[in-house]
């Protein structure tokens, strides 16, 4: 029997967009842009359309320029051909009554020369982030990158703006800046990977500068209420040397205070995946999302490990406005209906998460509704 009286299934006014529920599909890199030009395909349009009953879909992370690449078969949004491919996706989602934001990303130093004809990737400083890149030949360790010049940083910001314009042209409803650990922006935020001595390094204000410069550039295209940003403030695993440190909490306090003035669509915060005790961010262990709620006055989207029950609970207690789900959307295209009818969730097949073409992608069935 349908059970709609749950907070996750309530409508939500997101600026001038009305979301049909508070269930957001979080970005999922699936490596299905299997062509040299990294153009979204009709199969991707079918996959996203299947998930249009989410209140909002966030696209997989997409590259803002040819230097931002660092993972195989991930689509870009910097060429006209890529824009044409994305048009198929946005149309398919809209035709099915959904809304979709484009997630704009740059992997910075966590890439590999295999993507650049043997040339080194660039990051804030010439420091190996000690992560891994999924290259056409499999996973490879990151190397010591080249340091971005100031002119290259300014160009990168313009490339985000260009990608934001392309997202608009492609028919997206807004954009989310991809700033989870591993990507370029957190490489600037972390003193471990950013040891610059100019205005983009050193103190918190300087290390955070790029966040605001990118957002300001994108907001010129979209207006603030269609722009958002996603952070993983306390990621501990698979983040190389970019683990949380004593600067993490004050850095995010500073960023959130400034972002509170921005009137963004929302701030997307990923929760801890591990126990924070004994780490420099241990103070967030018992009050994680309420800490961000207190330090940010705009709309807050919570993520990581949510279930129907915990998603409803965080909305009910008022600690978040929206809840995003990542992994559950892989095998449950109809996640919203499954919550509405209390239908058990299907498990995804691990082998086909990032590879496999059609298999394990757009072939997960919707549940039978009784």
Ligand X SMILES: Cc1cc2nc3c(=O)[nH]c(=O)nc-3n(C[C@H](O)[C@H](O)[C@H](O)COP(=O)(O)O)c2cc1C
Closer by beta carbon to ligand X, 78 or else 306: 306
Min. distance of Cβ 327 from ligand X in angstroms? 3
Binding ligand X (rule: CB under 6 A), the pick from 27, 193, 194, 312 is: 27
Min. distance of Cβ 306 from ligand X in angstroms? 6
Closer by beta carbon to ligand X, 82 or else 303: 303
CB within 8 Å of 314: residues ≥ 6 apart: 289, 302, 306, 320, 323
Binders of ligand X in range 116-145 (CB under 6 A) = none
Closer by beta carbon to ligand X, 147 or else 234: 234
Q: How many CB atoms lie within 10 A of CB 20?
A: 18
Return the ∠ at Cα 86 (arms to 133 and 168), rounded to 5°.
Answer: 105
Token pair in block for residue 268: 């997307």
Binding ligand X (rule: CB under 6 A), the pick from 241, 327, 343, 345 is: 327
E strands in the chain: 12-14, 17-19, 23-25, 56-63, 100-105, 122-123, 132-135, 138-141, 146-147, 174-179, 227-231, 266-270, 300-303, 322-325
38 binds ligand X (CB under 6 A): no
Q: How many CB atoms lie within 10 A of CB 327?
A: 15
Min. distance of Cβ 329 from ligand X in angstroms? 8
Binding ligand X (rule: CB under 6 A), the pick from 97, 136, 305, 318 is: 305
270 binds ligand X (CB under 6 A): yes
The DSSP H or E segment spanning 156 is helix 150-169
Complete DSSP assignment for 240-268? TT----TTHHHHHHHHHHHHTTS--SEEE
Binding ligand X (rule: CB under 6 A), the pick from 189, 304, 336, 340 is: 304
Number of residues located near ligand X, criterion CB under 6 A: 20
Binding segment toward ligand X, per CB under 6 A, in 27-35, 39-47, 213-221, 242-250: 27-35
State how beta strands 56-63 and 100-105 pair.
Answer: parallel
Number of H helices, E strands in the chain: 10, 14
279 binds ligand X (CB under 6 A): no
Binding ligand X (rule: CB under 6 A), the pick from 19, 20, 24, 29 is: 29
List contacts with ligand X (CB under 6 A): 26-29, 60-61, 103, 178, 180, 230, 270, 303-306, 325-328, 353
């Amino acid at each position: 029997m349908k059970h709609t009286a749950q907070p996750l299934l309530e409508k939500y006014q997101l600026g001038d967009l009305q979301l049909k529920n508070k269930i957001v599909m979080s970005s999922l890199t699936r490596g299905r842009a299997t062509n040299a030009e990294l153009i979204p395909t009709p199969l991707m349009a079918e996959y996203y359309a299947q998930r249009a009953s989410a209140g909002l879909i966030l696209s997989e992370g997409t590259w803002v320029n040819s230097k931002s690449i660092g993972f195989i078969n991930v689509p870009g949004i910097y060429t006209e051909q890529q824009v044409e491919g994305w048009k198929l996706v946005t149309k398919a989602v809209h035709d099915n009554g959904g809304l979709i934001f484009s997630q704009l990303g740059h992997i910075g130093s966590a890439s590999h020369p295999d993507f650049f004809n043997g040339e080194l990737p660039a990051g804030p400083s010439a420091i190996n982030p000690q992560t891994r890149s999924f290259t056409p030949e499999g996973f490879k360790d990151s190397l010591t990158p080249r340091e971005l010049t100031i002119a290259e940083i300014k160009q990168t910001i313009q490339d985000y703006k260009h990608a934001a314009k392309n997202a608009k042209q492609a028919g997206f409803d807004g954009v989310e800046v991809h700033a989870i650990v591993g990507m370029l922006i957190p490489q600037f935020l972390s003193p471990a990977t950013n040891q610059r001595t100019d205005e983009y390094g050193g103190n918190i204000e300087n290390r955070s500068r790029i966040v605001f410069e990118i957002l300001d550039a994108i907001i010129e295209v979209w207006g603030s209420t269609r722009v958002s940003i996603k952070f993983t403030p306390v990621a501990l695993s698979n983040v190389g040397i970019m683990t949380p440190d004593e600067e993490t909490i004050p850095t995010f306090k500073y960023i959130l205070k400034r972002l509170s003035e921005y009137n963004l669509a929302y701030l997307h915060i990923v929760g801890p995946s591990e126990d924070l005790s004994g780490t420099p961010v241990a103070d967030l262990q018992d009050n994680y999302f309420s800490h961000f709620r207190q330090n940010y006055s705009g709309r807050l989207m919570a993520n990581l490990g949510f279930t129907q029950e915990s998603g409803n609970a965080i909305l009910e207690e008022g600690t978040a406005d929206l809840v995003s789900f990542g992994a559950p959307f892989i095998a449950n295209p109809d996640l919203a209906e499954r919550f509405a009818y209390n239908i058990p969730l299907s498990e995804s097949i691990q082998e086909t998460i990032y590879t496999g073409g059609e298999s394990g992608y757009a072939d997960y069935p919707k549940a039978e509704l009784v």
